[in-house]
Amino acid sequence: MFPGLVVIFISFPLYFFSVNFALLFLISGILIILFNTQKKFAKNIEKTRAIKTYQEIKFDEPTSDKTIELSKNCDISPNINIHKVWLTDAVDALEKQYRKSKSNMFLHNRNRTAAKYPYIIINAENMNYKKNQNYEKLFYRNGNYKRICSFLKRSPISSLDKELDIFTILIEKQEK
């Protein structure tokens, strides 16, 4: 926008010397402003689409290249990867809940042959009081916990991993 304004301001003194050149500069400045505005608008639409797609796939494919790339479009700062921070917070919350409640965080029916919605419960105090993060949904897919731990370069809790593997099979049966 700034270059377009400069060109428009240069066109004003040119009216005294040549009206044709002045009009040419004026039209050029207006076109520069219009192109910049259109480019910003297209970038905004692209960013909005990226955020929407990211929100849709971040639970099912948390460590895929596409998810990581889309999360970079959503990042506020180039130095902070919000997706990696979110994954770290989610794993921390899951492990903290598991340490406190062991298997009580997994919701089964009476004879433990099926999962019961909302499947996994992580209390707000174990999420450091971050509400509406839906960390539980991240672990509904079989193997996500292990993949996330590998992505974050940390070792998973083996007993939690075994229980999650068994429980996610029940969840996937329930959702079919």
Each residue of 2-61: pLDDT tens digit? Answer: 887 888 878 878 777 888 888 888 888 899 999 999 999 999 999 899 889 998 899 999
> d(Cα 127, Cα 137) in Å, to the nearest integer?
14
Each residue of 71-87: pLDDT tens digit? Answer: 887 777 766 788 898 99
pLDDT at 38: 94
Q: Residue 153's pLDDT band (boundaries 50, 70, 90)?
A: very high
Q: Residue range 106-133: average pLDDT?
A: 84
Which one-letter amino acid corresponds to residue 11? S
pLDDT at 16: 79
> d(Cα 25, Cα 4) in Å, to the nearest integer?
9
117 — phi, psi (to 5°)? -65, 140
Q: Largest Cα–Cα distance of the chain, in whole Å?
A: 92
106, containing H or E segment = strand 106-108
pLDDT at 152: 94
pLDDT at 17: 81
What's the chain's average pLDDT? 87
Q: Residue 109, SS3?
A: coil
pLDDT at 147: 95
> d(Cα 94, Cα 139) in Å, to the nearest integer?
9
Q: Residue range 161-170: average pLDDT?
A: 91
* 26-32-36 Cα angle (round to 5): 150
CA 69, distance to chain mean position in Å, is 9
Each domain of the chain, given as residue ranges in start order, spans 2-57, 82-175
pLDDT at 160: 92
Residue where the block lists tokens 């370069």:
153
- CA of 11: how far to CAs of 5, 40, 169, in Å? 10, 25, 70
